[in-house]
Amino acid sequence: MRILHTMLRVGDLEKSLDFYTQVLGMRLLRRRDYPDGKFTLAFVGYQDESEGAVLELTHNWDTSSYDLGNGYGHIALEVEDAYKACEEIKARGGKVTREAGPMMHGQTIIAFVEDPDGYKIELIQRDSHVD
C-alpha cells in the first residue's frame, strides 16, 4: 500500500491552482470537470502520481468557502532552505504565517505558509530533522 493523494476542498479553484503551481512550484498533473455533479477535480504535485503522493483539489461549483474545523493540521513540504523558501513565497504573493526558524523546544528549522483557503503548509528544512 501507499498514499496516493490528500484531498482539499477549495472555494476558488483558479486561485488555489495559482497558489500551488506559481507560489509553491507544483505542477498541475490533471484536471477534470464533472458537470453532472457540479464539481471539478484538479491534481497537483511535484512528481507524477505514479511516483509519489499528490494533492487533490476539489472544487464544488456551488461552494465558495469551507469551515476548516479544528481537526486539520497541515501539509508538510521538505525544502532545501526554509529561510530562502519563505522569501521566495512572499515574493510570489504567498502568505507566510510563521517565519523560518527553529521549532519550539527543538532544532528542526520550520516555517508555515497559508493557502488561499486557509490551509496551513509547513516547510521543513532538509538536513535539520533532528527532533
Asked whether the predicted pLDDT for residue 44 surpasses 70, the reply is: yes
Spot the catalytic one: 51, 80, 99, 122. 122
Distances (CA, A) of 35 to 12, 41, 113, 131: 17, 11, 32, 47
Q: Residue with C-alpha cell 486557509?
A: 118
Q: Can you tell me the distance from the alpha carbon of 66 to that of 83, in angstroms, rounded to the nearest whole number?
A: 30
Residue 129 pLDDT grade (very low, low, confident, very high; cuts 50, 70, 90)? low
Domains of the chain: 5-60 (3.10.180.10), 75-125 (3.10.180.10)
pLDDT in tens, 84-105: 999 999 999 999 999 999 998 8
Asked whether the predicted pLDDT for residue 130 surpasses 70, the reply is: no
Q: Is 88 among the residues known to form the active site?
A: no
What integer pLDDT is reported at residue 2 of this predicted model? 86
DSSP state of 93: T
pTM for the whole thing?
Answer: 0.88
What integer pLDDT is reported at residue 69 of this predicted model? 87
Asked whether the predicted pLDDT for residue 71 surpasses 90, the reply is: no
Q: Can you tell me the distance from the alpha carbon of 42 to that of 59, in angstroms, rounded to the nearest whole number?
A: 8
Asked whether the predicted pLDDT for residue 1 surpasses 90, the reply is: no
